Structure 1
Amino acid sequence: MSRRHRLALDRAEPSARSAFIRARKAEVQYSRQLRKVARHIGDLVMGLFDEADPASVGIVERALRRYAPTIEGWANAVGGRMVTEVAARDRKAWMAVAREMGTAVHREIEKAPTGALLRERLKEQVSLITSLPAEAADRVHKLTIEGLSKGTRASEIAAEIRKSGDVSIAKANTIARTEVSRTATAFTEARAKSIGSEGYIWRTAGDSDVRESHRAMAGKYVLWSKPPTLDGMTGHAGQYPNCRCYPEPVIPDA
Structure 2
Amino acid sequence: MQASPRRDYRLRTNGCPTCLRSSSFTADRFEGVDIKSAFIRAKKLERTYAAQLRKIAGHIGDIVNGFNIQDLPGAQMLQAVMARYSATLTPWAEAVSRRMVTEVAARDERAWVRVSQQMGQALKREIATAPTGEAMRSAMASQVKLITSLPTDAGQRVHDLVIAGISEGRRADAIAEEIARTGEVTKSRATLIARTEVSRTATELTKARAEHIGSTHFIWRTAGDSDVRPSHKKLNGQTFRWDEPPECDPGHHALPGGIWNCRCYPEPIIPEA
RMSD over aligned Cα, in angstroms? Answer: 1.7
For 2:105 and 2:73, the matched residues in 1 are separated by 47
Is 1:83–1:183's contact at 8 Å kept on the other side of the alignment?
yes
Superposed displacement of residue 10, structure 1:
6.5
Q: How does 1:31-180 map to 2 (within 5 A)?
A: 31-51=50-70, 55-180=73-198
For 2:237 and 2:209, the matched residues in 1 are separated by 21
SS at 1:197's partner residue? coil
Superposed displacement of residue 81, structure 1:
0.3
Alignment of 1:205 with 2:257, yes or no, is no
Is 2:86–2:151's contact at 8 Å kept on the other side of the alignment?
yes
For 1:129 and 1:10, the matched residues in 2 are separated by 38
Alignment of 1:214 with 2:232, yes or no, is yes
Alignment of 1:228 with 2:228, yes or no, is no
Larger Rg: 2
* Count of aligned positions: 250
Partner AA of 1:99 in structure 2: Q
What whole-Å deviation, never above 9, does each CA across 1:190-215 have from its counterpart, x for those lacking one? 00001111111100001110011101
Q: How does 1:21-36 map to 2 (within 5 A)?
A: 21-36=40-55
Superposed displacement of residue 146, structure 1:
1.4
Unmatched 5+ stretches in structure 2: 1-10
SS at 1:247's partner residue? strand
Superposed displacement of residue 56, structure 1:
3.2
What whole-Å deviation, never above 9, does each CA across 1:150-204 have from its counterpart, x for those lacking one? 2122211111111010000000000000000000000000000011111111000
SS at 1:202's partner residue? strand
Alignment partner, residue 269 of structure 2: 250
For 1:154 and 1:67, the matched residues in 2 are separated by 27
TM-score, normalised via structure 2 length: 0.87
User: What stretches of structure 1 move > 3 A for 4+ residues in a row?
Assistant: 53-56
For 2:21 and 2:102, the matched residues in 1 are separated by 28
Alignment partner, residue 20 of structure 1: 39
Q: Percent identity?
A: 51
Superposed displacement of residue 247, structure 1:
0.2
What whole-Å deviation, never above 9, does each CA across 1:78-120 have from its counterpart, x for those lacking one? 0000000000000110011111112111111122110111111
Unmatched 5+ stretches in structure 1: none
TM-score, normalised via structure 1 length: 0.93
